Amino acid sequence: MKNFQKNLYHQLLYIRRVQEEISNRYHPADNMKCPMHFCMGQEIGPAALSSFLRPGDAILSHHRSHGYFLANKGSLNEMIAEFHGKETGTNGGLAGSQELSCTKTHFYSGTILSGAFGMSLGDAFSKVYKNENNITISVIGDGGMEEGICSETLNMAILYKLPILFICENNKYSTHTKLNERTEYQNVSDRIKGYKIESHLFNSNDPEKLYMLLKNLTSKIRKTKKPIFLEIMTYRFNGHVGPEGDDHYNYRSKAERDLWSKKDPLKVYRKKLDKKFGIKFKNFENKILNDINKKIDRSFAFALKSSFAKVYKKYNYQNTYHKSVKKFFNNDISFNKDQEDHRPMPY
């Protein structure tokens, strides 16, 4: 097995297992009291991307963010602690799953998600401004792409030549409303060309293919400093939100679900590696599965023993200034003298 195959499979399995365990432990314990948007079925994007992220890169993600958070080397301990509302959480317990962020690894997300798409402009701009060779990854879904700000963002990304990889995970549903009920186009990438942005459609369940594509795209962006748009056709196996599942609402057909379940990239890739490497793969899988499970257990133990967040009000403001501000000017009037000079002329 090659290293990149090991990494790829490890990432796919890691992200899936973390989600499964969060789902399993969510109820009835109810220690994680926040809404969660799981990404089971959609791991292929973050797993394939993870090898090409450098420490100075940033990810601005939609709310279905767990996969990208972990792919960006976000701390699992801090993520699970965040879901528990603990002060050791990556957001200090103040945001939860929906706005999972990590200042030190440059990972940001939010649930009014098209705003994060727009913020990638400023993030990438700062990299150009400071002459860095880092890139910005902006992750969104087919639903988020319908907001007007996305159109503005794409125009500005190419106008200002900003090094952004836009990834649109098209899972065909905005909550429970299907794409064909919302737009005439069925592929977001179709309409990107009009902005003069290079765009790609990835419609496959082969993680290695996506790995190769992302290898090319990320290095091209680092070189050209121009944005690229990538649409990944994918499917979410879990419900829109929470571990409970929502297929009893019948918003998507069983035939459709079965089809995608059969195409599950993790399953398909596992089969491929098993067939190719046999016992070598099995040994590898056992080892990483064991490591992952232990890591997950440790993260839950860490979260449970951490203290709840205690303060929050003071964080609304930094209440600090740039180093050039050493003292403040006091111009409470010196009464009786200089009054004329302090009086603006009438308009």
Q: At what angle do helices 265-277 and 207-224 cross, to 10 degrees?
A: 110
DSSP label at 344?
A: P
Q: Is 51 in the site for other proteins (CB under 8 A)?
A: no
Q: Is 167 in the site for other proteins (CB under 8 A)?
A: no
CB neighbour list of residue 242: distance below 8 Å, 6 or more residues apart: 26, 35, 36
Beta bridge partners of 137: 59, 165
**Beta carbon of residue 114, minimum distance to other proteins (angstroms, whole number):** 8
Q: Is 155 in the site for other proteins (CB under 8 A)?
A: yes
- Write the burial class of residue 340 (CB in 10 Å: 0-12 exposed, 13-18 middle, 19+ buried): exposed
CB neighbour list of residue 63: distance below 8 Å, 6 or more residues apart: 37, 97, 98, 99, 109, 110, 111, 113
CB nearer other proteins, residue 184 or residue 332:
332
Q: Among 21, 118, 208, 220, indicate the residue that binds other proteins (CB under 8 A).
A: 118
Q: Among 30, 181, 184, 332, indicate the residue that binds other proteins (CB under 8 A).
A: 332
**Beta carbon of residue 309, minimum distance to other proteins (angstroms, whole number):** 7
Q: Is 328 in the site for other proteins (CB under 8 A)?
A: yes
CB nearer other proteins, residue 91 or residue 189:
91
Q: How many positions of this chain bind other proteins (CB under 8 A)? A: 64
Question: Hey, which residues between 289 and 318 contact other proteins (CB under 8 A)?
Answer: 309, 312, 314-318
Q: Is 30 in the site for other proteins (CB under 8 A)?
A: no
Q: Which helix (H) or strand (E) holds 201?
A: strand 198-202
CB neighbour list of residue 307: distance below 8 Å, 6 or more residues apart: 86, 87, 88
Closest CA to 41 of 66, 24, 58: 66
Stretch that binds other proteins, among 88-96, 172-180, 274-282, 284-292 (CB under 8 A): 88-96
* Spatial distance between the Cα atoms of 221 and 201, rounded to a whole number of angstroms: 17
Q: What is the contact surface with other proteins in residues (CB under 8 A)?
A: 58, 60, 87, 91-95, 99, 101, 103-104, 108, 110, 112, 115-127, 129, 148-149, 152-153, 155-156, 159, 309, 312, 314-322, 324-325, 327-329, 331-333, 335, 338, 341-347
